């Protein structure tokens, strides 16, 4: 008989380290954002004012066969009322969320929702940023949970399947884009000489390599009068901490496009389970005319081929530059559960939907009026 164990203390979260990733490797949702290292680090940096709520499913032999990494958060929209939400542990801090289930998937997920349905500490459950390949999506399609839910289709996640030689990838590109890419690389070489790709190991320390990465990322966004991801020390410290832990595991792929010992473009990626995950990048705006952002992507694809990786994943977001490289994508999905047993949750649900509808209508009215200016 299956049973649920709830983990609420960080000390118990720490104890799960020895088995977590072994289970993850056996699950459908295997990705770097669900590793113990990523989630534990996220919680250390951003867990304040939230409650840990990791659900572990044990089988008849008292072995853990599933881990559902969750948290309990409190929200106060427009300072009108407060409601409690159970959501993925790294929600808004990871491109992909999911569940870790190694066997008896349908039974495990139903047990989890039956367990949550019997609790009174939540008004909503948000399972957002779930890949369509996730066990959660496959099982929730069956609607075998006693908790009703709304379904949302979110962003697209473009990716490139690696087919042997780099030329196989280049053949799939638009001919104009391909020619411009080669022309920009040739111009860069003619103007500056050797163009090479180096990784973080060429720097004195991970701190130095991440500082160079932060600098290039911020340069790009500040040139557009936007703050960039790393405008706060809190975010920098989190990414630096992840970089150190992933470097120890062999998962860190931080690369720089260098000319005359000068980094002009960068990509922070994670190498995990024979895939390259592109997290964030940046480049020096002084080299915009050379399309160095695309050139480093080309070099990264060369690296994927060299390492016999299966895929280069652009992660969440359908930005046009990603579709210069590929037409293939996955979707991320969202599931929103309302605790119908609580009258307050039903009232909150109505209030939240009203606030959102009003915002959407205001935005629509703004653009409608804007057309006549």
- What integer pLDDT is reported at residue 346 of this predicted model? 79
Tell which residue, 144, 152, 153, has the closest CA to residue 117. 144
pLDDT digits (tens, 9 = 90+) for 7-18: 999 999 999 999
pLDDT at 82 over 90: no
Q: CB atoms < 10 A from the CB of 39, how many?
A: 24
**CA–CA gap between residue 106 and residue 88 (Å, rounded):** 19
Quick one: average pLDDT of 299-324? 96
Counting residues of the chain whose pLDDT is more than 70, the rounded percentage is 93
pLDDT digits (tens, 9 = 90+) for 37-69: 999 999 999 999 999 999 999 999 999 999 999
Grade residue 366 by pLDDT with cuts at 50, 70 and 90. Answer: very low
**CA–CA gap between residue 336 and residue 117 (Å, rounded):** 14
Concatenated DSSP letters of 294-343: HHHHHHHHHHHHHTT-SEEE--S---HHHHTT-S-EEEEEEEEEE-TT-H
pLDDT at 29 over 50: yes
Grade residue 350 by pLDDT with cuts at 50, 70 and 90. Answer: confident
Question: Would you say the pTM of this structure is higher than 0.95?
Answer: no
Distances (CA, A) of 356 to 30, 145, 151, 342, 351: 33, 27, 16, 21, 9
- CATH fold of 3-156+331-370: Aminopeptidase (3.40.630)
What is the phi/psi pair of residue 94, to 5°?
-150, 145
Cα-Cα-Cα-Cα dihedral sign, residues 151, 126, 88, 363: positive
Domain boundaries, the chain: 3-156+331-370, 163-309
- The alpha-helical segments, DSSP class H, found in the chain are 10-15, 17-26, 36-46, 105-117, 135-140, 166-170, 175-192, 206-222, 233-249, 292-306, 320-323, 343-370
Check: CB of residue 33 under 8 Å from CB of residue 90: yes
Q: What is the 3-state secondary structure (H, E, C) of 27-78?
A: CCCCCHHHCHHHHHHHHHHHCCCCEEEEEEEECCCCCEEEEEEEEEEEECHH
pLDDT digits (tens, 9 = 90+) for 123-181: 999 999 999 999 888 777 765 555 678 888 889 999 999 988 899 899 999 999 999 99
Question: Who contacts 283 (Cβ-Cβ below 8 Å, separation ≥6)?
Answer: 216, 219, 220, 257, 264, 265, 266, 292, 293, 296
DSSP H or E run through 94: none
Quick one: average pLDDT of 230-247? 96
- CATH fold of 163-309: Aminopeptidase (3.40.630)
**CA–CA gap between residue 217 and residue 224 (Å, rounded):** 12
pLDDT digits (tens, 9 = 90+) for 168-214: 899 999 999 999 999 999 999 999 999 999 999 999 999 999 999 99
pLDDT digits (tens, 9 = 90+) for 248-298: 999 999 999 999 889 999 999 999 999 999 999 999 999 999 999 999 999
């Amino acid at each position: 008989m299956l049973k649920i164990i709830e983990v609420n203390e960080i000390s118990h979260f720490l104890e799960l380290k020895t088995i977590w990733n072994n289970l993850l490797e056996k699950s459908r949702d295997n990705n770097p954002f669900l590793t113990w290292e990523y989630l534990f680090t996220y919680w250390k940096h951003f867990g304040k004012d939230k409650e840990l709520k990791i659900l572990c499913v044990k089988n008849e032999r008292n072995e853990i066969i599933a881990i559902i990494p969750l948290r309990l958060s409190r929200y106060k929209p427009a300072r009108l009322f407060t409601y409690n939400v159970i959501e993925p542990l790294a929600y808004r801090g990871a491109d992909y969320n999911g569940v870790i289930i190694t066997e008896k998937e349908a039974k495990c997920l139903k047990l989890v929702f039956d367990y949550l349905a019997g609790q009174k500490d939540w008004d909503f459950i948000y399972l957002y940023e779930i890949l369509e390949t996730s066990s959660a999506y496959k099982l929730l399609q069956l609607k075998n949970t006693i908790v009703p839910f709304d379904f949302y289709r979110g962003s697209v996640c473009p990716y490139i399947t690696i087919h042997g030689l780099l030329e196989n990838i280049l053949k799939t590109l638009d001919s104009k884009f391909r020619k411009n890419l080669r022309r920009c690389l040739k111009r860069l070489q003619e103007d500056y000489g050797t163009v090479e790709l180096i990784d973080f190991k060429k720097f004195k320390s991970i701190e130095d390599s991440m500082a160079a990465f932060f600098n290039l990322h911020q340069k790009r966004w500040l040139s557009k009068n936007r703050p960039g991801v790393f405008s706060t020390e809190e975010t920098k410290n989190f990414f630096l901490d992840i970089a150190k832990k992933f470097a120890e595991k062999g998962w860190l792929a931080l690369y720089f496009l260098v000319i005359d010992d000068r980094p002009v473009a960068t990509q922070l990626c994670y190498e995990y389970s024979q895939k390259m995950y592109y997290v964030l990048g940046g480049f020096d705006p002084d080299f915009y005319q050379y399309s160095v952002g695309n050139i480093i992507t080309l070099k990264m694809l060369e690296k994927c081929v060299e390492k016999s990786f299966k895929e280069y994943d652009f992660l969440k977001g359908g930005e046009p530059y990603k579709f210069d490289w590929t037409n293939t994508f996955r979707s991320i999905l969202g599931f929103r559960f309302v605790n119908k047993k609580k009258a307050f949750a039903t009232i909150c649900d109505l209030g939240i939907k009203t606030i959102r509808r009003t915002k959407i209508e205001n935005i629509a009215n703004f653009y409608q009026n804007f057309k006549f200016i």
